Amino acid sequence: MQLTHGENQFKRKTFPITLVCDHIYFQQNIGSLFRISEAFGVENIIFLGKDIPLTPRKINKTSRSTHLYVPYSVMEETTELTSYLLENKFEIIALEIASNSKPLKEIHIPADKKIALIVGSEIDGISEEILKISTQIVHINMFGKNSSMNVVQATSIALYEITS
């Protein structure tokens, strides 16, 4: 028998994870990132970029109201974000296919540090400035002809790996 939301036996837990969204503008993705962040106990979300479309009416459909429960902020400039992450001593993990990336399964999660999981824009991925300050760059192994996947799907896989 299928359980309702109230009947499931999952324990509520928050992880010291900040999801950093590097110039993500598609409203369906933004709403879904709130939803998956809430499901995996992400502490907060930082949206990097100008004019991020955070109109609740438009993202509510995919967020299923989780945008009301996951704290978030917006930083317009990459330099502001990189300073914040470095000054606060985050373990900066970029989810990107790069010449120096390693498979997600090889990720190292330090027990004593806050994690910043960086996910990139739907068009350009993660900026070079952010990749340069990343402590780890990880990718999801894929076996088809396509070499990328939707940012929400990739984030879901990475959060599952990090939190389990």
- Domain assignment present for residue 10? The answer is no
Q: How far apart are CA 159 and CA 43, in angstroms?
A: 12
Per-residue confidence in pLDDT tens, the chain, 164 aa: 776 666 666 677 788 999 999 999 999 999 999 999 999 999 999 999 999 988 877 787 787 777 878 999 999 999 999 999 999 999 999 999 999 999 999 999 998 899 999 999 988 999 999 999 999 999 999 988 877 789 999 999 999 999 98
CATH number of the domain bearing residue 105 = 3.40.1280.10
The per-residue pLDDT for 5 is 62
The per-residue pLDDT for 38 is 94
What 3-state DSSP class applies to 73? strand
- Domain assignment present for residue 1? The answer is no
CA nearest 155: which of 6, 51, 37? 37
Count the domains in the chain. Answer: 1
Cα Rg for the chain, rounded, in angstroms? 16
- Domain assignment present for residue 93? The answer is yes
Range of the domain at 23: 15-141+151-163
How many CB atoms neighbour CB 65 within 10 A? 13
Q: State the angle between helix axes of 27-39 and 151-163 in degrees (0 to 180), rounded to the nearest 10.
A: 10
Q: How far apart are CA 14 and CA 12, in angstroms?
A: 7
CA nearest 100: which of 60, 147, 58, 132? 132
Tokens 């994870």 correspond to 17
